[in-house]
Structure 1
Amino acid sequence: MDIEQNNTENLEPTFTKSNFSFHGNAVEFFGIWIVNVLLTIVTLGIYSAWAKVRTNRYIHGNTEVDGHRFDYLATPWQILKGRLIAVAIFALYWIVSTVSPVGGVLLGLGFLFLTPFLICSSMRFKMRMSSYRNVRFDFTGRYGQAAINFILLPVLSVFTLYLLLPWAFKRIDQFIVSNTKYGNKQFDTNLSTGTYYEASLLTLFIALGVGIVFFVALAMFGLNPEMMADQAALSGVMTFVIFAVYIIFFTFIQAFYKAMIRNHIFASSKIDGVAKFDSHFTFSSLAFLQLTNLLALIFTFGLAYPWTRIRSIRYNVNRTDIYLDKRRQLVFDDLEQSPSATTDEIANVFDVDVALT
């Protein structure tokens, strides 16, 4: 009996929490960022490819897990070539739309059918250009899956008064995580549809509550005789108030939804035989971070961007846990060739970008 019990215990994986840290700082990143901006302006955008590589290499190279840092493998020439092709395609679309609105609509429909391909290719390039301990990441999603999750299901949700949308969001996140690989090891996740509906409903209730309070206050403010006497002052004040409430409103509801869903995704995901994950985002801390970052950008006319970027990365790292399997299996790089950056840049030009919540 004791032997059987010991054998059962030995079959259970044991995990140890690994150190996950970010070593970048705002002063160093500001130097990289300001040079990138100035050279991009001077070269009429050509240097943007080098700027992207410098930025990603700095962020990857300063992110450390278990004593090892990440690498970014893309080259500026890869990205520049893809970016030039993407801009040429965008210019073609603009010309056709200007000359022939019908032709522009047809070309737009063509890009709609191309979107799933762009999504998969963009994800594949981004993953394969990232490595850890000389082992690259990969993305194995296919066109048909992407078309169903990113186009068909969101469109169908319209005909259900968006009741299907939380399930569609869950399918999208499941598609991204379950098709991600680290070397020869596939990520595995088991997301809960109920959690997505709970997050969506709570977010909706918060939004309705804040909206009701705002409109009641607005009505009381508008009925004030002194304010009604000065319509110009009222108009100016109301414009500012509406803008401020709009920013705070969407910052809060986005922070609530993101914190809840991100924690769920990380807690439900693992790499079999290698690692499992956890996340500790909170609504209050994330809302404070995003709101103060936004205010810093507004009042510094964008010069605080390096500080806000480093601050956000450090928040993500400090609230993410990685547990490594003590008996983790050997992981090796099974990729034979690197993908082209073309589709990644086309996706960025046409605002087809994908990321986890």
Structure 2
Amino acid sequence: MDTASQPVQLGPSTPSLVHFSGNSKDFFGIWIVNLLLSIVTLGIYSAWATVRTKQYFFSNTHIDKHRFEYLATPIQIFKGRIIASILLVIYLFFTHYFPLVGAVLAVMITFLAPWLINQSFRFNMRMTRFRNVRFNFKGSYGGACKVFLLMPILCVFTMYLLLPWTLKKMDEYLLTNIKFGDKQFSAKLSTSKYLSALLITLLSSFAVIPLFIAGLFVAGSNVEDSPKVLMTLIPAYIACMYLLKAIYQAIIRNHVFNSAEIKDIAQFHSNLSVTRFAIVEVTNILAIGLTLGLAYPWAKIRKTKVLAEATAVTLMPAAKDIIDTMDSTESSLGDEASNLFDVDVSLT
């Protein structure tokens, strides 16, 4: 049993388990309506769908009977999505008809990526509220440029020897720039932990190679029978990728949560089972594929419950004195642009 399910005394307060009360039946109803209305409206309703989905998951996630709230409005999302879509169309137009201009724009987008990352995190944090206090993100362009542009380049020139340190600095940057009201998050992450997570994932990848060999035998020795081979190997490949990703994410999630705190306000705990999480991730993606996507709500709820059950938070008495310094106005442009331009960076 996860130790997160057995709270122990850690200082002035007892850890409170994160509880998720959502269920597959309710979320399936929301998901299918969102999907159908988004199709009928040619994607216009997708902004409303995004808000409905996030509000459902936030409102069903609570700590010590206090629920999270998602504050963004569909109009905020819709406006940001329109502007980001226009920018994407302009980029694709120049890339197709004027390749030189498109290349220049690609370079510009590369240097715009740190801003997009900051704006995406800032919007999502400001739209999140817990105990009537909003989160915030105070990352700078220079800081984001350093960890998301310069360090990855250094990794390439060092034949990825600096990859564990780079991944640690990325998570550290994102985490330590988050604020809860007027209080800053802090964390002491270990490069050696990232190295061990990568090595375990790498060794696991060697273990799954026989699965592909077995897949070839199952599909038949005649490689000219390509449809049969593809139907066997593609699901196996996808399952293996989710398996490896889950192994790495579970190890790093535990490390990040157990290293993070808001001084004198909260301590975070995670005891996510690597084996359990890997099984959930692999079976979820296979179920989604076999049902042509209809199992997505069940898979989403299932994964969220597993993560919640492995998580606990120790709230200190001073938590009630936090001051909410945020206003409710914020543009979603950075968040939508980062999605459209495939700038996808998240805290593990």
Normalising by structure 1, what TM-score? 0.90
Which residues in structure 2 correspond to 1:63-142 (within 5 Å)? 63-142=61-140
Q: CA RMSD in A?
A: 2.1
Contact 1:16/1:326, CA 8 A, preserved across alignment: no
Report which stretch shifted further, 53-62 or 243-252: 243-252
Equivalence for 1:39: 37
1:100 to 1:307, Cα distance in 2 relative to 1, 3 A:
same
Name the counterpart of 2:168: 170
- Equivalent residue, structure 1, for 2:234: 243
- Equivalent residue number for residue 264 of structure 2: 273
Report the more deviating stretch, 338-347 or 133-142.
338-347
Q: Among 274, 278, 289, which residue is 1:298 paired with?
A: 289
Q: Give the C-alpha shift of residue 231 in structure 1.
A: 5.5
CA separation of 1:295 and 1:137: change in aligned 2, threshold 3 A: same
In the superposition, relative to structure 1, how do residues 193 and 103 fare at CA in structure 2: closer, same or farther (>3 Å)?
same
Q: Quote the offset at 1:329 in angstroms.
A: 5.9
Structure (1 or 2) with the larger CA radius of gyration:
1
**Match of 1:262?**
253
> Among residues 332, 340, 343, which one is paired with 1:349 in the alignment?
340
- Give the Cα–Cα distance (whole angstroms) in 2 for the partners of residues 217 and 40 of structure 1: 41
- C-alpha contact 1:274 1:324 (8 A) present in aligned 2: yes
2:279 aligned to which of 278, 288, 309: 288
CA distance in 2, matches of 1:60, 1:201: 34
Correspondence for 2:47 = 49
Residue type of the alignment partner of 2:296: Y
Over the matched positions of the two proteins, sequence identity in percent amounts to: 44
* In structure 1, C-alpha distance between the alignment counterparts of 2:234 and 2:108, rounded to whole Å: 37
Residue 356 of structure 1 deviates from its aligned partner by: 1.4
Aligned residue number for residue 154 of structure 2: 156
Partner of 1:317: 308
CA distance in 1, matches of 2:140, 2:228: 51
Aligned to 1:338: 329
SS of residue paired to 2:315: strand
Structure 1 gap ranges (5+): 1-11
Matches of 1:19 and 1:116, distance apart in 2: 34
AA partner of residue 65 (structure 2) = G
Task: Please state whether the residue corresponding to 1:16 is helix, strand or coil.
Answer: coil
Instruction: Identify if the C-alpha distance between structure 1 residues 245 and 304 changes in structure 2 by more than 3 Å, giving closer, same or farther.
Output: closer
Output one character per residue of 1:13-42: Cα deviation in whole Å (capped at 9) or x when no partner: 422122421111111111111111111111
SS in 2 for 1:15: coil
The residue aligned with 1:4 is none
Task: Please give the secondary structure, in 2, of the residue aligned with 1:265.
Answer: helix
The normalised TM-score by structure 2 is 0.92
Structure 2 CA distance for aligned equivalents of residues 209 and 301 of structure 1: 29
| 2:70 alignment partner AA | Y
Q: Distance in 2 between matches of 1:71 and 1:215?
A: 44
**Separation in structure 2 between the aligned mates of residue 53 and residue 347 of structure 1, nearest angstrom:** 17
SS of equivalent residue, structure 2 residue 101: helix
CA distances 1:35-84 after superposition (whole Å, capped 9, x unpaired): 11111111111111111111111111111111111111111111111100
Conserved 8 A contact 1:167-1:193: yes
1:179-206 deviations in Å (ceiling 9; x for gaps): 0011111111000011011111221122
Q: Larger deviation: 323-332 or 162-171?
A: 323-332
For 1:121 and 1:100, the matched residues in 2 are separated by: 29
Conserved? CA contact 2:80–2:333, under 8 Å: yes
Contact 1:83 1:342 in 2 (8 A): yes
Tell whether the 8 Å contact from 1:21 to 1:63 is kept in structure 2 after alignment. Answer: yes
Letter in 1 for 2:285: L
* Correspondence for 2:3: none
The one-letter code of the counterpart of 1:55 is T
Q: What is the Cα deviation at residue 115 of structure 1?
A: 0.6
3-state SS in 2 of match to 1:314: helix
Query: Does the 8 Å contact 1:199/1:261 carry over to 2?
Result: yes
Q: Are 2:21 and 2:61, in contact at CA under 8 Å, matched by a contact in 1?
A: yes
| Distance in 1 between residues matched to 2:162 and 2:197, nearest whole Å | 14
SS in 1 for 2:14: strand
- The equivalent residue for 2:24 is 26
With over 3 angstroms needed to count, the CA separation of the structure-2 counterparts of 1:296 and 1:218, relative to structure 1, is closer
Deviation at 1:327, TM superposition (A): 5.0
Q: How far does residue 328 in structure 1 lie from its aligned partner after superposition?
A: 4.3
Q: 2:56 aligns to what?
A: 58
Q: Please say which of residues 164-173 and 17-26 is displaced more in the overlay.
A: 17-26
The alpha carbon displacement at 1:243 in A equals 2.1
Contact 2:58 2:69 in 1 (8 A): yes
Residue 208 of structure 1 corresponds to which residue in structure 2?
A: 206
